[in-house]
Amino acid sequence: MTALRLRDLRPVYVIGVGLHRYQRPTDTAFVELGLAAVRRALGDAGLEWPAVEVAYTAATRLGMAVSRPMLRHLGATGIPMTQVENASASGSSAFRMACRDVAAGFADVALAVGVDKAGRAVRAEQLTGLPVPDAGLVIPPVHYGLLAEEYLRTRGAGPEDLARVAVKNHGNAARNPFAHRQKARTLEEVLADRPIAGMLTRLQCCPVGEGAAAALVVSGDAVERHGLDAGRAVRVLSSVQRSEELYGAKSFDAELTRTTTEQAVAEAGVSAADLDVVELHDAFTIEELQYVEAMGLCGEGEGPARLADGEFGIGGRVAVSPSGGLLAMGHPVGPTGIGQIAEITLQLRGEAEARQQPGARLGLAHLVGVGAVCAVHVLAAPDR
């Protein structure tokens, strides 16, 4: 038997999105961050809280049972609430659960909300009891720094090819009022910044702070019943999540991205060349170069040249991380995947203002979570 695809079920739409700015750690309670995002999403949708039938909360560093201490302040309506944790992909997975509930008919209105504060996370991989021979050195910038060294060597690329990713994404975030970093940077600034690991400087590593993001997902029935604006409803064409396989010495992040994206694009009935906006897991500059190639946005090894040509900038062939991406919009972790959906929704509605990719009709959101897992969603403009 062939597994169901999202598109085999009834249509699912993003009808409302909302964010709390991603920012450096403050003493603001997570409750306030999360509620701000949910209330903005409800306002954006034109929905009242009692219409929401199910909620998924993505959080990674807030401990157990995050949903109700936050959502009860919207009114205790008794709806099912579930916390979703999938590392960097937590928000993507929460969004996926909401989409599946609506597609299958378990709910007509579902909420996916991500909220997080800075703090130490316990990683289960460190509790396996298996020896790790790296002397504790391999933290994420080191993992990606090693991939950067290998990528640049095998492609004949240089440090400035990496740094250009940071220049583009910081430039985009400078136009995003919800971004953690809102300052445009020059190539010289990126290259001369404090070195962290190998060629990766501080501005080539994402800021991990706090924030919140929310998305309301609805059925066509709900659009009619609640009198919502179908002209602002962004359809979710596909939702695919996969986990790491055995790839030998190849970059597992890139290979996992390749298989997951291939499936998501195929299930959406489109091709990678049709995409107008892509939000991807650019926690480190090297990732964007790896992923644009793995996704088929350009040929293998062509990433640096296409980037330098402006193909991935706003106004280019396909805008990559128009929000500023994890690199500059920031990576509060729980919210990140839902923040991507918020950006793509604005882009596909034509509401992204200073960051608007002209004529955006088709968008893709991609996150990799340590472990590794990968989630990809393809979304379409209301008039597509």
Binding mask 13-42 toward another protein (x if CB under 8 A, else -) reads ------------------------------
Buried b (16+ CB within 10 A) or exposed e, 77-105: eebebebbbbbbbbbbbbbbbbbbbbbee
Q: Is 137 in the site for another protein (CB under 8 A)?
A: yes
The single-letter DSSP state of residue 26 is -
Angle subtended by helix axes 159-173 and 140-155, to nearest 10? 120
Q: Is 146 in the site for another protein (CB under 8 A)?
A: yes
Interface with another protein in residues 83-102 (CB under 8 A)? none
User: What is the smallest separation between the CB atom of 249 and another protein, expressed in angstroms?
Assistant: 5
Q: Is 277 helix (H, G, I), strand (E, B) or coil?
A: strand
Q: Is 147 in the site for another protein (CB under 8 A)?
A: yes
Among 136, 156, 231, 359, binds another protein (CB under 8 A): 136
Q: How far apart are CA 322 and CA 357, in angstroms?
A: 8
User: What is the smallest separation between the CB atom of 199 and another protein, expressed in angstroms?
Assistant: 8
Segment interacting with another protein, rule: CB under 8 A, options 41-49, 59-67, 75-83, 142-150: 142-150
CA distances from 267 to 7, 216, 271 (A): 7, 22, 10
> In this structure, what are the phi and psi dihedrals at residue 130, rounded to the nearest 5 degrees?
-80, 140
Nearest to 33 by CA among 321, 376, 330: 330
Q: Is 231 in the site for another protein (CB under 8 A)?
A: no
Q: How far apart are CA 10 and CA 53, in angstroms?
A: 17
Pairing of strands 54-58, 362-369: unpaired
- For 31, the enclosing helix (H) or strand (E) is helix 30-45
Binding mask 344-383 toward another protein (x if CB under 8 A, else -) reads ----------------------------------------
Segment interacting with another protein, rule: CB under 8 A, options 111-119, 245-253, 313-321, 340-348: 245-253
Give the count of residues interacting with another protein (CB under 8 A): 30
Q: Is 153 in the site for another protein (CB under 8 A)?
A: yes
Interface with another protein in residues 100-129 (CB under 8 A)? 126, 128
Among 139, 187, 192, 354, binds another protein (CB under 8 A): 139
Among 70, 74, 162, 196, binds another protein (CB under 8 A): 196
64: which 2 tokens? 């157990």
Q: Is 172 helix (H, G, I), strand (E, B) or coil?
A: helix
63: which 2 tokens? 């401990």
Query: Would you say 82 or 243 has its CB closer to another protein?
Result: 243
Q: Is 243 in the site for another protein (CB under 8 A)?
A: no
Q: How far apart are CA 243 and CA 257, in angstroms?
A: 10
Q: Is 193 in the site for another protein (CB under 8 A)?
A: no
User: What is the smallest separation between the CB atom of 250 and another protein, expressed in angstroms?
Assistant: 10
Q: Is 198 helix (H, G, I), strand (E, B) or coil?
A: coil
Q: Which residues bind another protein (CB under 8 A)?
A: 126, 128, 130-139, 142-143, 145-150, 153, 194-199, 246, 248-249
